[in-house]
Amino acid sequence: MKNRLEILRKQKGIKQEELAEALEVSRQTIGSLENGRYNPSIILAFKLARYFNTTIEEIFIYEEEKNDKN
Amino acid sequence: MIKINSQVKNYILVGISAGIIIGCLFAIKLYGRDIRVIIPLVIALLIFGHSVDNILKIFAIKDSTKAEKQLKIEMKDERNTLIREKAGSKTNEYMLYLNTVIVFILGFMGAEFWMLCLFGFLILAQGVLSIFLYNYYDNRY
């Protein structure tokens, strides 16, 4: 699953640490989300959407994968 | 009922377990290695280790509320939870293989029958527990 998290975060001018603190997750989680290595829970996805004042679909782009490793 | 603070409880447990350890070591010195002394000694050592670990943890984060908050976040973090669960699952799988290999090695080494049964029971218990916990969480979620 692709996402626009890094773009949105940079647009807002905040660091990964600051976003992590606001959402009460670890900085590594934000890093993994931005790299696309980790897919968030629905709760975290809603938190992110609320934080950036947008919708989940605007942040995460769902693509059907042939070999889903998760 | 008196509610005991968790830190005080840890200190009490350390004291009691240390007392039992000293008592057991004294008993071993006097009467030799006896199963009735070894069992409480092992239990007391486990309690001692666990309580000391808890005390040290509290000391490490005592003066830093920021560190305490960060620790809570790290514990609750969903990615960390996923990693912990995956690591636990893989550990369970590898331990099952390892125990099986140990049983074979012991068998070829000519170990006593009760020892093989003990390890066999360990493998069985691990399998049964896995199925039981799977069903438990399957019904819960």
Tokens of A1: 């699953």
Packing angle between helix B78-109 and helix A27-35, nearest 10 degrees?
A: 90
pTM of the model: 0.65
In this predicted model, what pLDDT tens digit does every residue of B67-85 receive, in sequence order?
777 778 888 899 999 999 9
More confident residue, B4 or B44: B44
Which residues contact residue B114 at a Cβ distance below 8 angstroms, ignoring those fewer than 6 apart?
A: none
Q: How many residues does chain A have?
A: 70
The yes/no answer on whether domain A1-56 falls in CATH 1.10.260.40 is yes
In this predicted model, what pLDDT tens digit does every residue of B39-55 receive, in sequence order?
899 999 999 999 998 88
How would residue A69 be classed by pLDDT, with cut points 50, 70 and 90?
low
Q: How far is B66 from chain A (nearest CA, A)?
A: 11
Match 């989680």 to its residue by tokens. Answer: A29
Q: Are B96 and B127 in contact (CB under 8 A)?
A: yes
Cβ neighbours of B77 in A, within 8 Å = 25-26, 28-29
In this predicted model, what pLDDT tens digit does every residue of B94-106 receive, in sequence order?
988 998 898 889 8
Q: How far is A12 from chain B (nearest CA, A)?
A: 23
